[in-house]
Structure 1
Amino acid sequence: MAGFGGGELRTPIFNGENYEFWSIRMKTIFKSHGLWEFVEKGVECSDSRGTDAKKKEKEESSDVGKMTLTEVLMKDAKALGLIQGVVSDAIFP
């Protein structure tokens, strides 16, 4: 297993085998870093054509709606970096 950063949870490298086991471990890691919502739902870019009521409803239903755009983009990048860092070179492309 390879580690992701010092002092953080050790992340298992996915090599194409035992996906079910690997995905359970990765879900736990994402949750522990507060990133699971980004993996599960992704990040939506704001559309200025939407109504204010719809935007407010969406923001209230999610912790992501309470973060600044910079915080959202940083967490999204961290989740993506974790995923990219834990797949083997053969699987990454």
Structure 2
Amino acid sequence: MAGSGGGELRAPIFGGDNYEFWRMRMKTIFKSHGLWELVEKGMECSDSKGAGESEVKKKEKEESSGAGKMTVTKLLMKDAKALGLIQGAMSDEIFP
């Protein structure tokens, strides 16, 4: 196919206009990177949650959750990648 490469999808730069188009394109990009669920649901911080639970119970809870099989490091890397895509898709005027 002419003009198609093996590269990643390019995020359109959002400059304040046509948000619906930008939103749809970004959603597709996040899905192609396996990031959409993280963007939609966010990361669960467990700072004070389960403070009285034993380590075994915490581990069991993590493993039974949908994201439990993913290590914290991988989850943080995915979060950073999603944030990087969003930041890279903002114009200099909109970003701040």
TM-score higher than 0.5: yes
Aligned AA for 2:75? V
Deviates more, 1:19-28 or 1:39-48: 39-48
> Comparing both chains, which one has the higher relative contact order based on Cα–Cα distances under 8 Å and sequence gaps of 6 or more?
2
* Paired residue secondary structure (1:26): helix
- The two structures have a TM-score, normalised by structure 1, of 0.78
Could you list the runs of 5+ residues in structure 2 that have no partner in the other structure?
1-5
Give the match for residue 93 of structure 2. Answer: 90
Count residues in correspondence.
Answer: 85
1:17 equivalenced with 2:17 (yes/no): yes
Could you list the runs of 5+ residues in structure 1 that have no partner in the other structure?
1-5
Q: Where do residues 9-88 of structure 1 align in structure 2 (5 Å cutoff)?
A: 9-46=9-46, 47-49=49-51, 52=57, 56=61, 60-62=64-66, 64-88=67-91
Identity between Structure 1 and Structure 2 (%): 72
Task: Tell me how large the CA RMSD over aligned residues is.
Answer: 2.2
More strand by share: 1
Deviates more, 1:29-38 or 1:42-51: 42-51
Q: Which has the larger radius of gyration?
A: 2
